[in-house]
Chain A
Amino acid sequence: MADRPVPLKDTRLLDVKLGQLPSWFAMRNFTPSGLTGAVRRGYDSYLNKYINVKKGGIGGIAMVLFGYVVVSYVWNYEHLISMIVGGSII
C-alpha cells in the first residue's frame, strides 16, 4: 500500500483509477512501434501465463479458439441478422 507514487504515464492498466482512464489512454504510445510493442507484450503475457507452463492443460488453447469463434461471429453478424429477417434457416 505504501508504494512511491508512480507517474500516470507508466502505471499498468489494472492500477489506473477509473477517473484517470481517459487521460491514461491519451498518453499511450500510438506510433506503429508502440502498437506492435503492445501487441507483442499482450501475446507474450498470455503465452507465459497459460501455455508456457510445465503442466499446461487444454484451457490455454481452448480460450484462443473460443475467442476466434466469437470474433468470427461478430464479423458475420450482419449476414446472420439478414438471414433471420429473411426468414430462412440456412
Chain B
Amino acid sequence: MNLTFFDQFMSPQILGIPLTILALLTPSIIFPTQNTRWLTNRFSTLQLWTINSFTKQLMLPINKTGHQWSIILTSLMAMLLMINLLGLLPYTFTPTTQLSLNMGLAIPMWLATVLTGLRNQPTTSLGHLLPEGTPTLLTPILIIIETISLFIRPLALGVRLTANLTAGHLLIQLTSTAVLTLLPTVPTLSLLTMIILFLLTILELAVAMIQAYVFVLLLSLYLQENT
C-alpha cells in the first residue's frame, strides 16, 4: 500500500462514518450552553468576555444595518478557531484542510455580501468597481480588473484557509519524520530538528488563530463596502 504524506488529510472511517462528522461536532461541545446564573463559572465568563470584545471590535467600522451580521460572523470565527486549534491535537482530523468545506463557507458568505449590496444600494456597489481619482483613460481597463478581483474574492478566501492549514500540517509531519529518521544515526542533528519542530508547532498555533480571524475580517470588510 503506497502511503504518501497526504494520507493524513483523508478522513478515516469506522463502519462508513467518516471522522469529519465528529471533528465538526466537537467545537459545539467545547462551547457550553448559556448559564442562567448571574455569576457564571470561570469558563463561561472567559468565553463571554472574549466573544463580546471580539464582536464589538469587529462591528466598529460597520453601520447599523450591517450589525445583523454580527451573530453569523462571530459564530463563524468561533467555529473556525476551534476547528483549527483542535486539529493540532494528536490523531485528530482538521476539516478545514478540505477545500470543499472552505469553499462551502466562503462562496455563500461572499455572495451574500455582494447580493446585499446590489439589492439595497446598486449604484454604490457598482461604484466600488472604479476607485476614486483614476485617470479617465484608464477607466475601462480598471473596471475589468476590479470585476476580476471581485470574482476572485471567494476563491481567495477558501483557498487561503485551506492552503495555510494544509501546509502547516504537512510541515509538521515532514519535520517529525525527519526527527524520527535521524534519531538512530545522528542524534545531535535530530535534536536540532526537534527544536525546529517545537518552533513550528508554536507557529501552527498562531496560524490557526490568525487564519480564522483573517477569514472573518475580510468578510466584514466586504460587508462594509456593501452595506
Chain A interface residues toward B at CB < 8 A = 47, 51-56, 60-61, 64-65, 68-69, 71-76, 78-79, 82-83, 86, 88-90
Query: Which residues of chain A come closer than 8 Å to B19, judged between CB atoms?
Result: 72, 75-76
Contact with A along B197-213 (1 / 0, CB 8 A): 00000000000000000
Residue B29 lies at the interface, judged by CB distance under 8 Å to chain A: yes
Interface size class of B (residues with CB under 8 A): 20 to 34
Q: Which of A54, A71, A86, A90 gathers most chain B CB within 10 Å?
A: A90
With a cutoff of 8 Å between Cβ atoms, the chain A residues found around residue B181 in the complex are: 89
Question: Could you tell me if B14 and A75 are in contact, using CB atoms closer than 8 angstroms?
Answer: yes
Instruction: Give the A-B pair count, Cβ closer than 8 A.
Output: 70
Cβ contacts B126-145/A at 8 Å (1 or 0 each): 00000000000000000000
Pairwise interchain contact A51-B91, C-beta atoms closer than 8 A: no
Q: Quick check: A54 and B41 within 8 Å, CB to CB?
A: yes
Q: Does B3 contact A (CB under 8 A)?
A: yes
Q: Is B64 an interface residue when CB atoms closer than 8 A count as contact?
A: no
Mask for B26-56, Cβ within 8 A of A = 1, else 0?
1001101001000111111000000000000
Given contacts A51-B43, A90-B3, contact A69 B89 (CB under 8 A): yes
Neighbouring A residues of B29 by C-beta, 8 Å: 64
Neighbouring B residues of A73 by C-beta, 8 Å: 90-91
The reply to whether B92 and A72 form a contact with Cβ atoms under 8 Å apart is yes
CB pair B173 A90 closer than 8 Å: yes
User: Within 8 Å CB of A53, what residues of B?
Assistant: 41
- CB within 8 A of A86: which of B1, B14, B44? B1
Closest CB pairs A-B (n = 9)? A72-B91, A73-B91, A72-B92, A75-B19, A52-B41, A79-B12, A56-B42, A76-B12, A88-B3
- The residue from B1, B13, B43 contacting A61, defined by CB atoms under 8 A apart: B43
What are 30 A-B interface contacts by the 8 Å CB criterion?
A47-B32, A51-B32, A51-B41, A52-B32, A52-B35, A52-B44, A54-B39, A54-B42, A55-B42, A64-B30, A65-B86, A65-B89, A68-B26, A69-B90, A69-B91, A71-B22, A72-B22, A72-B89, A72-B90, A72-B91, A72-B92, A72-B93, A73-B90, A75-B12, A75-B13, A75-B19, A75-B22, A76-B12, A89-B180, A90-B4
Alpha-carbon separation in the docked complex, A47 to B34 (Å): 12
Contacting residue for A78 out of B12, B39, B43, CB 8 A: B12
A64-B29, A68-B89, A74-B14 provided; 20 other pairs, C-beta below 8 A? A51-B41, A52-B32, A53-B41, A56-B41, A60-B43, A61-B30, A64-B30, A65-B86, A69-B90, A72-B89, A72-B90, A72-B91, A72-B92, A72-B93, A75-B13, A75-B22, A78-B12, A79-B12, A90-B7, A90-B177
Closest A residue, CB atoms, query B11:
A75
